[in-house]
Structure 1
Amino acid sequence: MSWVDIGVNLTNKQFKDDAADVVERALSVDVDQLILTGTSLLESQQALSLAKRWPGTCFSTAGIHPHDAKEFQPEQLTALAQLLIQPQVVAVGECGLDFNRDFSPRPVQCEVLEQQLSLAAELNMPVFLHERDASDTLLAILKPWRDKLPAAVVHCFTGSEIALRQYLELDLHIGVTGWVCDERRGTELLAMMPLIPAGRLMLETDAPFLIPRDLQPKPKRRRNEPCYLPHIAATIAAKRGETLAQLSEHTLAASQRFFGLM
C-alpha cells in the first residue's frame, strides 16, 4: 500500500529542527509522497525549497491563505506566478475563505481568492482550497471559474453534509484529516465518509495541526506528523466499509492524478 499526504505544513516552526526525520518516518510507513503547503509568498518559497530536498517524494503548493490576504499586494502575483511554474509546485493555494476567524476583511479575502483562481486558470493548475464557515460564498465565487480549472480540492473539510454535497456537485475533491478521529467534534464528519465517491477523496494530516486524538499509545508530543496518515486512513476505511488496500488504491490514484505526480 502507498499513501499521499496532500497537506503538510513542513515550513511550520515545529519542524525546523527535524524535517528530515519527519519525512523519513513518513516513508517508513508507506506515506510515499507529501504535498507541502504554501500559505504566503514567503512560506510558498520555503515550501518549494523543502520540496527540492526530496525530489519525487515532496512537492509543494504556492498561494496566499485567507489569513494572509490582508498583507497581499497585487505586485506579488508576479512572484507567485514564478513559483507556480516550477516543476515541484503542483497546485495554487492554500487559498480560500475563512469567515470563522476573519483575520483578513471578507471583501479582501474574496478579491485575493479571485486573483488566485484567475492565475490557476491561466496556468491550467489545480487549486488547494481553505474554507471555514464560508461555503456559500466560496461556492458562489467558484462556480464561474469551475470549467476553467482542471480541478480543485476543499482541503481539511469539516463542514456540513449540505456543503459536502454542494462541493461534490461542483466536481470538487475533498481532503479529509484526523478530524475524523476526534470523538468530541469529528463524529459528524466521520459519518459523511461513505458519501464521498472513490476518486474524489484524498487524505491529509495538515501536520503539525490536528493530531488524531485516539492514537494509542498517546505520543509524547502533541505534534501531528505525516506518519500518522495510515491511522487516519484506517478510521476512514472502516467507516466506508473498505479495506485499507482499497482505500489506498483509490486515494493514491486520485491524489496522483489531481496533482500530476510522477
Structure 2
Amino acid sequence: MLKFHHHISKTILGTFQKMAKSSKSLPDISSIKLNNKLTDIGCNLGHPSFKNDFEEVLKRANQAGVEKIMITGPNVSGSKEVCELAKTKPGLFYFTAGVHPHEAKEFNENTISEINELLKESHCVASGECGLDYNRMFSTKEEQLVCFEEQLKLACKVKKPLFLHEREAHDDMVMLLTKYKSELPPAVIHCFTGTAKEAEKYISMGLYIGLTGFLAKDKTDNGVQYALKNGIIPLNRLMIETDAPYMYCNIGNKKLKKIKESMSDEAKALHKYSSFERNEPCAMAAIVEVIAHFMGETVEKVAEETHKNSMIVFGLQ
C-alpha cells in the first residue's frame, strides 16, 4: 500500500487498522444492492487503512451503487503506485497523476516528465491532485505556486482533465486558472470546502464542483449547504466523491436530524461501515441522499446527473 501524502501519526494509523478489523455492532447488509449508478471521483484507496479488508470495502462500494472509482495520485511515487493498483480492477478503477500541494516541496527537474509519462496511461483520467493549500502549509506558498503552475501547463499541453485541490487559496487559484483559460481542459475543484460565492466564481469559469461528506459539517451561513439550497451549484456542474478514508459524512450531526430521518434504510445501514476513523466508498450512498435533500431534487436525479458528468468529463468507460 502507498506511503500516503497526508501526514498521519502511527497512533491514528493504528486506529484505522483496528477499525478495519473490528466488527463493531454493524448491521447485516448482505441483501442490500442499491440501483443508482455512482462515480466516486476522489478516493484514496492506496491508503494503508484499506490493506486488511480491501475486497470487502469494494464489495460494500458495489452494494452502494458505486460503479467507477478514481484513485488519486498524491505525488510522483504515489501516482506510480496507484497506477499499478488501478490496473487490478479495469473498468472499476481509474487513477489521477500529480503532485498534491502538501508535497510541492518534492518538485524537481524530473517531476513534470515523470507525471507526463503517467498521464499517457490509458486508465489515467486526470492530471492531479494538484493545486494550492494555504490552510496547512506543508509546503511553502512559493513552492506550491511553482509546482501547481508547471502541472497546469502540462495538463493544458496534453489536454488532460484537471483534478484540483484548493483550500483557502481561492484568489491565487483563480489567478492561475485565468492565466491559462484559453487552453484549460475540463477541471473539477475536488472536495470543495469554500463559500457559495467562490463556488459561483468557479462555475462561471466553466469548472465543476466536487462535493464530499464535508457538507455535513459545514457550519457557515454562506457555504456548501447554502450553495446547494439556493441553486448556486447546479446539477450539470456537480460531481460527488468520498475522499476516503477522509471527509466522513456525519449524518449524526444534530442539524441534519431531519435529513437522516428521511434517508433510506439501505443508505443508513451501509453508512455504518464508514466512520470518522475511516471513511469508505460505500458512503457515496449517504452523500448523494444528503445532497439531494439540500438541492430539493430526487436521489435518482442527483445520482444520474453527477454520474453522467463524471463519465463525460473524465472519459470513463
Q: Same fold (TM over 0.5)?
A: yes
1:248 CA displacement: 1.3
Q: 2:295 matched to which residue of 1? A: 240
The correspondence for 2:246, drawn from 175, 188, 209, is 209
**Is the 8 Å Cα contact of residues 274 and 282 (structure 2) preserved in structure 1?**
no
The answer to whether the aligner puts 1:23 opposite 2:78 as a matched pair is: no
Q: 1:228, 1:70 → 2: CA distance? A: 33
Instruction: Answer with 156-165 or 218-227: which moved more.
Output: 218-227
**Is the 8 Å Cα contact of residues 241 and 284 (structure 2) preserved in structure 1?**
yes
Q: Secondary structure at the match of 2:210?
A: strand
The correspondence for 1:52, drawn from 78, 87, 98, is 87
1:17 CA displacement: 2.2
Distance 1:213 1:185, change over 3 A: farther
The answer to whether the aligner puts 1:117 opposite 2:152 as a matched pair is: yes
> Would you identify which runs of 4 or more consecutive aligned residues in structure 1 move more than 3 Å?
183-188, 215-221
Q: Secondary structure at the match of 1:148?
A: coil
Report the residue type matching 1:225 in the other structure: E
The correspondence for 2:286, drawn from 203, 219, 231, is 231
Report the residue type matching 1:237 in the other structure: A
1:182 CA displacement: 2.3
Report the residue type matching 1:239 in the other structure: F
Q: 2:32 matched to which residue of 1? A: none
Q: 1:54, 1:121 → 2: CA distance? A: 28
**Is the 8 Å Cα contact of residues 36 and 60 (structure 1) preserved in structure 2?**
yes
1:18 CA displacement: 2.3
**Is the 8 Å Cα contact of residues 218 and 224 (structure 2) preserved in structure 1?**
no
1:216-260 superposed Cα distances (whole Å, 9 cap, x missing partner): 575585210010101010010011111111111110110001100
1:79 CA displacement: 1.2
What's the Cα RMSD here? 1.7
The correspondence for 1:170, drawn from 195, 205, 209, is 205
The correspondence for 1:90, drawn from 94, 102, 125, is 125
Report the residue type matching 2:241 in the other structure: E
1:147-202 superposed Cα distances (whole Å, 9 cap, x missing partner): 21220110000101221111111110000001122265698311211311222100
| Structure 2: runs of 5 or more not aligned | 1-35, 253-267
The answer to whether the aligner puts 1:254 opposite 2:291 as a matched pair is: no
Q: 1:12 matched to which residue of 2? A: 47
Report the residue type matching 1:253 in the other structure: K
Under a length normalisation based on structure 1, what TM-score does the superposition of the two structures give? 0.95
**Is the 8 Å Cα contact of residues 156 and 206 (structure 1) preserved in structure 2?**
yes
1:69 CA displacement: 0.3
**Is the 8 Å Cα contact of residues 179 and 185 (structure 1) preserved in structure 2?**
no
**Is the 8 Å Cα contact of residues 273 and 280 (structure 2) preserved in structure 1?**
no
Q: 1:196, 1:220 → 2: CA distance? A: 26
Q: Secondary structure at the match of 1:165?
A: helix
Number of matched residues? 262
- Larger-Rg structure: 2
**Is the 8 Å Cα contact of residues 154 and 175 (structure 1) preserved in structure 2?**
yes
Instruction: Answer with 1-10 or 184-193: which moved more.
Output: 184-193
Report the residue type matching 1:47 in the other structure: V
1:23 CA displacement: 1.7
| Structure 1: runs of 5 or more not aligned | none
Identity within the alignment, %:
39
Q: 1:197 matched to which residue of 2? A: 234
Under a length normalisation based on structure 2, what TM-score does the superposition of the two structures give? 0.79
Distance 1:186 1:228, change over 3 A: farther
